[in-house]
Structure 1
């Protein structure tokens, strides 16, 4: 018998990576097969608020150099083996799996003015770390189609908070952002997290811990080629 949604939710919680919704794939969704069988269900796993960070931090107590991607791969691969599913990740590639598109199929998330997906409850403080593909067509809970918070946001504080105006209706100026971080490594963006992201009023009760925000900002800066900030 296929695993039920409550049990699947509980297992993901115990593993430290919360369940983030799911859907039954169609031909145009680009979901890979579940082993030798066609995909019947895809479920997303990730973080919403600081809960996943706490699990990752506990794992790093005895291994301070443990990378988040390595921890994710280990935890989710073990979970997939237990459940008879196939694990896939957004950080393996190229080519990269369309996690942003899958997320919009799985739950009510929408593009924000910053280019990242916004959740009606968690705001900008969430992410997707892995997916499990099942051959079975699991029974999924009804999707809660709440509207995008950005649709009723008139002030758009996220577009005004960046100290170098890297975000605008025309897009994201990566060079300006990286240049600012390089010019002042002790800037608030690096020590407390992106000011534009923190300016969004949605999901303030689920904001990442300050340590978590610093970690992600360092990872973002380290992933960008140095020359991008010097052009």
Structure 2
């Protein structure tokens, strides 16, 4: 795993969890170990920003970059790559994240990662034929988080403990002048998680994702993003 982690880091990626899938996990056939990959902050964004995909003006540059980089890792390690954009049917990345033992439901309902906090994201997965040894999973972080600042930080109450995500309230805020802080630097509630501070995510990366989120809103009330 250390050699694979080093190979991923060289491409701006980090290993964010792994598990040995069973028949009900939706992994590719004959997968011995499924490994989740996310951005290796803060190195990830400069590498992507300097890539051909970021400069060519075509649609979905980050998805295309991810497929090129993770696809190359899959070839080198004789595995298969899977991506959240594959589908339909869509690969069950949220299920895989929880099966890895490193992502847990937070008070907001979003997944929280043991080191990336609420800023966890997955660019893809490697399905390897060999069954690699894996470390013991960590404890869920939220029960020991004394103040749980993620539950009180959203300026419009769109993300609250025990309540569904109010997408419409969030989007109205993002479309307003008051929403510049979230729009330009990323969701305040997700950034408030103490573990999120580990990522040192660049503002340009946050703005890129938030711009896509704002652009893709249908304007309809209700629903989950």
Structures share a fold, TM > 0.5? yes
* Number of the residue aligned with 2:36: 44
If the length of structure 2 is used for normalisation, what is the TM-score?
A: 0.86
**In the alignment, is the contact (CA less than 8 A) between 1:48 and 1:125 conserved in 2?**
no
Shift of 1:32: 1.8
1:97/1:185 Cα in 2 relative to 1: closer, same or farther (>3 Å)?
A: farther
Matches within 5 A, 1:219-230: 219-228=212-221
Distance, in Å, in 1 between the alignment partners of 2:195 and 2:128 is 33
Aligned counterparts of 1:90 and 1:149: Cα–Cα separation in 2: 25
Q: 1:153 aligns with which of 137, 145, 149?
A: 145
**Which residue in the other structure is 1:18 paired with?**
14
> How far does residue 28 in structure 1 lie from its aligned partner after superposition?
1.6
Q: Is contact 1:50–1:206 with CA below 8 Å preserved after alignment?
A: yes
What is the deviation of 1:195? 1.2
Residue 76 (structure 2) aligns with: 82
> Does the CA-based 8 Å contact 1:80-1:87 persist in structure 2?
yes
> What are the within-5 Å matches in structure 2 for residues 70-219 of structure 1?
70-137=64-131, 139-143=132-136, 145-168=137-160, 169-184=162-177, 187-219=180-212
1:101-133 superposed Cα distances (whole Å, 9 cap, x missing partner)? 112222422111233221233222331111111
Partner SS for 1:216: helix
Q: CA deviation at 1:191?
A: 1.5
SS in structure 1 of the partner of residue 50 of structure 2: helix
Please list every run of 5 or more consecutive structure 1 residues that lacks an aligned counterpart in the other structure. Answer: none
The offset of 1:88, in angstroms, is 0.7
Task: Name the SS of the counterpart of 2:122 in structure 1.
Answer: strand
CA distance in 2 between counterparts of 1:134 and 1:176 reads: 42
Structure 1 SS opposite 2:51: helix
Aligned pair count reads 219
Q: How far is 1:205 from its partner?
A: 3.6
Tell me by how many angstroms 1:73 deviates. 0.9
Preserved CA contact (<8 Å) 1:46 1:52: no
1:27 alignment partner in structure 2: 23
CA 1:225 to 1:185, structure 2 compared with 1: closer, same or farther past 3 Å? farther
Alignment check: 8 A CA contact 2:17 2:102 kept: no
> Take 1:133 and 1:16, find their aligned partners in 2: how far apart are those partners?
19
What is the root-mean-square deviation of aligned Cα atoms in Å?
2.3
